[in-house]
Structure formats: structure tokens, C-alpha cells
Amino acid sequence: MELKRAAEGEKGFEKVFAFLRERLLAGSLKPGDRLISERELATLLGVSRPIVREALRALTVLGIVEIRDRIGTVVTRPDVSVLNDFFTFALAQQADMLDDVMQARVAIECQAIRLACDRANIADFERLQRALAKIGETIDEADAGGMADFEFHRAIVVASHSETLSVLHSSMAGLLTHSHRSRRELVQGFPSMKTYLIDDHRRIFEAVIARDPERADATLRKHFAIGDEYRRRAVVGDIDKTSASG
């Protein structure tokens, strides 16, 4: 009943995790810094090494820290790829989460395209144009087509020059691309699909070129809405009897 671990009232793992989180959030531990050794950390916090390892492993899967064999533990620049892990698991067991995440993606992209209208440079325009061209070229290929589609949308976010939006977007994209392929196949049969894909993206591109945030946002938003509509119809088996471009 010593007051040793009652210091924070936390259990061992929590104690270590909280200790590290504190410094991480406060900024006293920045990317590139090397943590003190596991043994030191253990004695410092009055816990055993396995517990310290649990905490470090936890931070590792969160992409906050990297444990380098025989070197030490260093703080890394957070990497979105972690989210891929999560989404992979999550998606496997809960497909209904897709629509919800999609909403977040729409949010990010619509904001990104507004910023892009203001901040995009020549290189961004060129990247968009290349992606647009690729969409046209791969219009008949489900796989490559999906990739081209993704690259276009990715280019929009990149053009926003916002690190945060970029991070958020790529984390969602990882999850969504999985479903994208099947969705695309589902929708492949619609003749009007090609027109929709090409024209829509071209209109979006033009709005960015025109540096018109309102139009770009609206066009992109409509693009997503139409995509949803297509998918909805494909699900109910409504075989192409519309141009659905409104």
C-alpha cells in the first residue's frame, strides 16, 4: 500500500502512456528526438520494462514513435499510413462506416478545392490536367480508371497546399479506394457513366483554373452527389435510363 503508484492513480500502462503523451503534446518531445532507454523510463516511472514496451508499442501503432532495434526509440513525424491499419480492420467488420467516412472526405475535398482556387500554382494545374487526361484515357478500365480518378481528387487536395487537409484526405482515401473499385465495377455498365466521369472532372478542373471557389465547390459537390446517385441506382438495378447530369 505504498503511495508509489498512487502518484497519479493510474495503472502502469496508463502512467507511462500519459507521461509520454504529455511531453508529446506539450512539444517537449518533437519528431526526431530520441527517448530515453526503456530501462531508464521503467525505473523513472517505477514500472517494469514490459509495461514500458506496451506503451511504446502503443505509440508505435499510432505512428507517433518508432522503435529502432538496438538504437532506441525516436519520435517520428506522424504518418497517415497508421490510419490505414485502422481502416483496414474497421472496414472488415463494419462496412456501413463507409458512407460516414465518405462524408468526411467530401468535407475535406470541398474545402481543399476552395483553397486550391486561391493557392494552386502552375505545377498544381499541370498535375490536375494530367490526371484529367488520364481519366479520359482509362475510361474503359475499371482498375486504372479508378486510379486515375483517385489521382485527380488527390491532386485537388495537394493543390490546396494544406498539410492538414492532405493528411486527413489521404487517410480517408486509403479506406475509400478499396470500396471504390467495387463501386466502379458496379457502375461500369452505365453508358452515361463515361460522360459523367469525363465531363464532371473537366468542369471541376475548369472551375479551379478559373479560380472560382464557389463554382468549384458546388461543382465538386454535385459530382459527389451524382456519383452517389449512380451507385444508388446500380444497387436497385435501375439500368441506365437517364442522363442524370442535372
Residues that bind DNA (CB under 7 A): 5, 11-14, 35-40, 46-51, 53-54, 67-73
Site for a second copy in 184-243 (CB under 8 A): none
| Residue 93 contact, options DNA, a second copy, none, Cβ 5-8 Å cut-off depending on partner type | a second copy
Per DSSP, which regions of the chain are E strands?
65-68, 72-75
Closer CB to DNA, 11 or 232, in the complex: 11
Query: What sign results for the dihedral spanned by CA atoms 180, 184, 187, 193?
Result: positive
Give CA–CA dist 36/40, Å, rounded. 6
What is the C-alpha separation between 135 and 132, in angstroms, rounded?
Answer: 5
| Least CB distance to a second copy at residue 85 (A) | 6
Q: How far is the CB of 133 from a second copy (least distance, A)?
A: 28
In DSSP terms, 75 is beta-bridged to 65
- Distance from C-alpha of 170 to C-alpha of 14, rounded to nearest angstrom: 30
Number of residues engaging a second copy in binding (CB under 8 A): 52
Any residues with CB less than 8 A from the CB of 201 and at least 6 apart, and which? 132, 135, 149, 152, 223
Q: Which is nearer to a second copy, 91 or 186 (CB)?
A: 91
Q: Which residues form the interface with a second copy (CB under 8 A)?
A: 13, 21, 24-25, 27, 30-31, 50, 53-54, 57-58, 60-64, 77-78, 80, 82-83, 85-86, 88-95, 97, 100-101, 103-104, 106-108, 110-112, 115, 160, 162-165, 167-168, 171
